[in-house]
Amino acid sequence: MPLIDLANPSRFLKLADSTIPWLSGLTVLAFAFGIEQAMLAPEDYQQGATVKIMFLHVPSAWLGMLAWGVMTVAALGTLVWRHPLADVTAKAAAPIGAAFTLLCLITGSLWGRPEWGTYWVWDARLTSELILFLLYLAVIALWHTVDDPSRAARAAAILTLVGAIDLPIVKFSVDWWNTLHQGSSVFRIGGSTIDPSILTPLLTMAGAFTLLFVTLLVAAMRNEILRRRVRTLHLLQASAVS
């Protein structure tokens, strides 16, 4: 029996307990710094103040993809090494990734309304982001349909890997689909190259969002480990009663 598998989650709990306060503090600091820079950033000569939405929009888009990447690595861990911590990581990352993808969609449509005159267009980027969101919901639905956690982990791992293969194809086909129907000139985001005065706050905010993601992931993983312990004890309780 791999003793390390038994030990690791407990060790992870200890690690999480000691790092979460630090991570939370760092995240708050990073956000304070990032938002200050975002507020001070000059307005875009074309888009005016709405460019400030970008400081939320782009980092959340990036995290929506990063979360799927984390889930993909965790899926390999689940299928190849059968590591329980990988199951926990994959389950904890899914709702967080879904939330950031949703935030990306919301901020995107709030940005689109003043810039394009509509909340939603079936533009390539928007559409592939929407499909990413739907896939997150499918993975979460799968986690909630299978009662046995390690079986759910393996099913979700396979769906995650298939999704990881499919997402680039979706992205590329949606790009293609867009160019088939309408010229790409209408909905070009951001204009030409990004000026450092905009880029610096953007990167700071991206760093802050990444820290937030890590903090939330570690905390959600801790919850998941605890949930599994609760489940084991409940099973024990049930078998003791019967």
Partner 1 sequence: MEATAHIDFIAAAYAAAVIVVGVLVAWVTLDYRAQRRTLADLESQGFARRPSLRGDGAIGAATGTSKQPAKEQA
Partner 2 sequence: MRPLAAILVRDMRIAVRVGGGALMGVLFFLVVVALTPFAVGPDLALLKRIGPAILWLAALLASLLALDRLFASDHEDGSLDLILTGHAPLELVVAMKGLAHWLTTGLPLVIVAPLIGLFLNIDAPAEGALVLTLLVGTPALTFIGLIGAAISVTLRRGGLLLAIIVLPLTVPVLIFGVAAANAAITGPVPFGTPFTILCALTLMSVVVGPFAAAAALRQEIE
Q: Which does 169 bind (CB under 5 to 8 A by kind): partner 1, partner 2, none?
A: partner 2
Among 1, 3, 4, 180, binds partner 2 (CB under 8 A): 180
Residue type, 20: I
| Beta-bridge mates of residue 48 | 44
| Lookup: tokens for 173 | 């086909």
Q: Which does 194 bind (CB under 5 to 8 A by kind): partner 2, partner 1, none?
A: none
CB atoms inside a 10 Å sphere around CB 151: 10
| Lookup: tokens for 241 | 């009663």
User: For residues 224 and 26, is the Cβ–Cβ distance under 8 A?
Assistant: no
Q: Which does 57 bind (CB under 5 to 8 A by kind): partner 2, partner 1, none?
A: partner 1
Q: How far is the CB of 126 from partner 2 (least distance, A)?
A: 13
**DSSP one-letter string for 68-90:** HHHHHHHHHIIIII--HHHHHHH
Q: Does 176 bind partner 2 (CB under 8 A)?
A: yes
User: For residues 206 and 21, is the Cβ–Cβ distance under 8 A?
Assistant: no
Among 19, 50, 109, 173, binds partner 2 (CB under 8 A): 173
Tell me which residue of 29, 197, 189, 3 sits closest to 107, measured CA to CA: 189
Q: Which is nearer to partner 1, 162 or 227 (CB)?
A: 227
The backbone region for 41, taken as left when phi is positive above 0, alpha when psi lies in -120 to 50, beta otherwise, is beta
Q: Which does 40 bind (CB under 5 to 8 A by kind): partner 1, partner 2, none?
A: none
Among 51, 86, 135, 211, binds partner 2 (CB under 8 A): 135
Q: How far is the CB of 119 from partner 1 (least distance, A)?
A: 10
| Beta-bridge mates of residue 44 | 48
- Residues contacting residue 140 through CB under 8 Å, at least 6 positions apart: 94, 95, 98
Among 71, 93, 105, 159, binds partner 2 (CB under 8 A): 159
Q: How far is the CB of 138 from partner 2 (least distance, A)?
A: 5
How many angstroms separate the CA atoms of 105 and 186, rounded?
19
Q: Which is nearer to partner 1, 27 or 128 (CB)?
A: 27
Q: Which does 114 bind (CB under 5 to 8 A by kind): partner 2, partner 1, none?
A: partner 1
Tell me which residue of 240, 201, 224, 211 sits closest to 93, measured CA to CA: 224
Tell me which residues touch partner 2 (CB under 8 A): 79, 131, 134-135, 137-138, 141-142, 145-146, 151, 154-155, 157-159, 161-163, 165-166, 169-170, 172-174, 176-177, 180
